[in-house]
Amino acid sequence: MDKFEEIFVKGFIDEPIDPTLDLFDEIEKLKKEKNAVILAHYYQEPDIQDIADYIGDSLGLSQQAAKTDAEVIVFAGVHFMAETAKILSPEKKVLLPDYKAGCSLSDSCPPNLFAKFKEKYPDHLVITYVNCSAELKAMSDIVCTSSNAVQIVESLPKDQKIIFGPDRNLGTYVAKKTGRDLVLWNGACMVHEIFSMQRITKLKEKHPEAKFIAHPECEDVVLKMADYIGSTTGLLKYTIDNPAKEFIVATESGIIHQMEKSNPGKVFIPAPPNNSCACNDCPHMKRNTLEKLYLCMKNGLPEVTVPMNVIEKARLPIERMLEISARLGI
């Protein structure tokens, strides 16, 4: 198998690594050698978060991707995030440690079906959550993330008709917060959909002092119980600013690494999913490992590319989001 076939089959180049190598040192050397920057999402495994140049939520990572002067962006996250970086910096090489790191939410909205859905609402503006494919972004008027979705909808005239996709849970949350009647695509994230209201209720009884915090990708029944709802950056900030000593956390478990680092002595309890076989790990985010990160930097592969005609159309809605966020100081 050549390298490209191997990436197609496995998602990464499965080369043996000398066990005596210190991967942290090797990755630092490769960063300098290749003028590379590592951008990592909070859902990555702790080792990857610790070696990253920047850790953040989807908005923060897009802002970094737009402004970095590194020649290579190593995206420790999932495919749609690396695509967004490529759209914002088409002249740069964008690497993804495992090409198969996808996203169930993005997959729940195939572009051809969304195009037909959009046709039914010709007088609506299209706002898409960043967790979608580049093709979907190219069909949108404005992109948003969980940290600016409410403000982006509020920035539009009250009588503006809006389609919101692909996440129905974030869409429901935004509709409630803004009082707008949004037309929603029926998509969802496999990690945030499985939290159990009954089990969370029991856990809260056991930990009456704990604050319950949740990501807006969770279902409405779960969000109704939350003391705070926010993006991953918002959740992290809340644990720092709030004096509580215990937090029940309804989002992907990777964020707990930063919460523990930022809050020595505080306790973070992952919110329980609805069956005991499940966990709060995103199987897509967790495809990336320190070993794959090292191999991708060494080989310059897997590389994420986006066709130029898609870049041209997808760039404007992302830039609109970045402009509105900058104007509002988000």
Q: Which residues bind ligand 13P (CB under 6 A)?
A: 57-58, 131, 145-147, 189, 215, 217, 231-232
Is the bond preceding residue 166 a cis peptide, omega within 30 degrees?
Answer: yes
Is residue 218 part of an annotated ligand binding site? no
Q: How far is the CB of 71 from ligand 13P (least distance, A)?
A: 25
Instruction: Enter the tokens of residue 42.
Output: 């909070």
**What is the spatial distance between Cα 288 and Cα 82, in angstroms, rounded to a whole number?**
13
Q: How far is the CB of 261 from ligand 13P (least distance, A)?
A: 17
- Report the residue number, 219 or 252, with the smaller CB distance to ligand SF4: 252
Cβ neighbour number for residue 209 with a 10 Å cutoff: 8
β-pair partners for 143: 128
Q: Distance of CA 328 to CAs 19, 151, 315, 322, Å?
A: 49, 8, 20, 10
Q: Distance of CA 191 to CAs 3, 103, 105, 251, 259, Å?
A: 31, 10, 9, 7, 19
Residue whose beta carbon is closest to ligand 13P = 57
Is residue 291 part of an annotated ligand binding site? no
- Report the residue number, 180 or 284, with the smaller CB distance to ligand SF4: 284
Q: Which residues contact 36 (CB under 8 A, 6 or more apart)?
A: 30, 70, 71, 72, 73, 74, 95, 297
Cβ-contact 133, 80 below 8 angstroms: yes
Q: Name the binder of 135 from ligand 13P, ligand SF4, none, CB < 5-8 A by kind.
A: none
Is residue 103 part of an annotated ligand binding site? yes
Query: Which residue reads 């509105």 in tokens?
Result: 324
Is residue 294 part of an annotated ligand binding site? no
Q: How far is the CB of 37 from ligand 13P (least distance, A)?
A: 18
Q: How far is the CB of 121 from ligand 13P (least distance, A)?
A: 26
Is residue 303 part of an annotated ligand binding site? no
Q: Name the binder of 211 from ligand SF4, ligand 13P, none, CB < 5-8 A by kind.
A: none
Q: Name the binder of 190 from ligand SF4, ligand 13P, none, CB < 5-8 A by kind.
A: ligand SF4
How far from each other are the two terminal CA atoms of the chain, in whole angstroms?
A: 46
Q: How far is the CB of 145 from ligand SF4 (least distance, A)?
A: 11
- Binding site for iminosuccinate: residue ranges? 41, 58, 129-131, 146, 215-217, 232
- Binding site: residue ranges? 41, 58, 103, 129-131, 146, 189, 215-217, 232, 282
- Binding site for [4Fe-4S] cluster: residue ranges? 103, 189, 282
